[in-house]
Structure 1
């Protein structure tokens, strides 16, 4: 089971790792990630939530005007500065995980490396988490809810040959400085705030 999960993770991330060395040099096209992950990109009012590890399952969740209004209000609290917006993004990602949980069955999604839950509906690995966070942030960006950041393509680190387990995360770029940040909701369970850290620091960290 462990090897099967590793193999699927490598297939899911393979193009990202091989083509761009963990995508550490450029943002790339965030929308192109959905071709790599075999996921479905966000629409104006719907996200396709990945779960089951490696985006095996994709559950459509429609967002009402009340939902998008709440998302806008959460992100508006960060308009004063880039740092404030990153804090607002963390709150929005946590809110979204709670929002989709009843429809996806992910309320008890466990954080971190949890291979025995592979292929279990509602459980998410880093591919699922990176895809879902990117979907949410793209929806927010399209609607004009982000002032200080743009959404990047998910990035990855580790490919076994370097002794590290493959791991992916969503990413954002600060407009003013060009500095990139990981938005990583994988280490914690459902509805918890993600780690938002400088991408360089994230790339060097072992979980």
Structure 2
């Protein structure tokens, strides 16, 4: 059942919030994918989630041309942490367009709610937080981060008290330790993910 899958994924995320902060790739992989039985991404392959709660999945092979595009876009961020985050957002917009022909998501809307949950051409935040985390891990494997590392996805809200639950991919700035949300769920097709301090993201509805 789709709602059950989505609720279970949120439960895994909310439990992760209570755990001590960890930084290594293995812990990110365990947090992001184990609850959904997904394989970890690599520089040549990832599983893309769509249709709410990762109900639908498509295999994306990453080519040398894809790597070249990611390197070119990330090169614009070489001057500072802020520029690197802007470059990540640009890669996110490219990635959305790259995935759409395979997943059938060219018409996806921003902030897709439960009205869309039977539409496999849409993303909920479980889909986008996993997909963007996969993208960030690929960028990391390609050695394209100078100022950031990838952290576990995080969540806000609680199913049991009916506040809206929401999940996001996360980067951590190496020098300051500040966490940054990289949230594609709030954006429509082809738009760059929203990047903001995680503490600010936590305060949003």
TM-score after normalising by structure 1? 0.91
Do 1:75 and 1:145's aligned partners in 2 also have CA atoms closer than 8 Å?
yes
Counterpart residue number, 1:8: 5
Aligned residues: 201
1:105 to 2:100 alignment: no
Q: Do the aligned residues in 2 keep the contact of 1:10 with 1:159 (CA within 8 Å)?
A: no
| Offset of residue 123 of structure 1 | 1.1
Which runs of no fewer than 5 residues in structure 2 stay unpaired? none
Gaps of 5+ in 1: none
The 3 A distance-change label for structure 1 pair 163 and 115 is closer
Q: Secondary structure at the match of 2:41?
A: coil
Q: Does 1:88 align with 2:87?
A: yes
Aligned to 1:127: 126
Q: Which of 167-176 and 44-53 deviates more?
A: 44-53
User: SS state of the match for residue 153, structure 1?
Assistant: strand
Distance 2:178 2:85 in 1: 12
Deviations 1:101-143 (A, max 9, x none): 1111110111104212213222110000000000011011011
Superposition map of 1:128-207 within 5 A: 128-206=127-205
Q: Distance in 1 between matches of 2:130 and 2:124?
A: 10
Q: CA separation in 2, counterparts of 1:145 and 1:153?
A: 18
- TM-score, normalised by the number of residues in structure 2: 0.91
Q: CA offset at residue 41 of structure 1?
A: 1.9
SS at match of 1:144: coil
| CA RMSD after TM alignment | 1.7
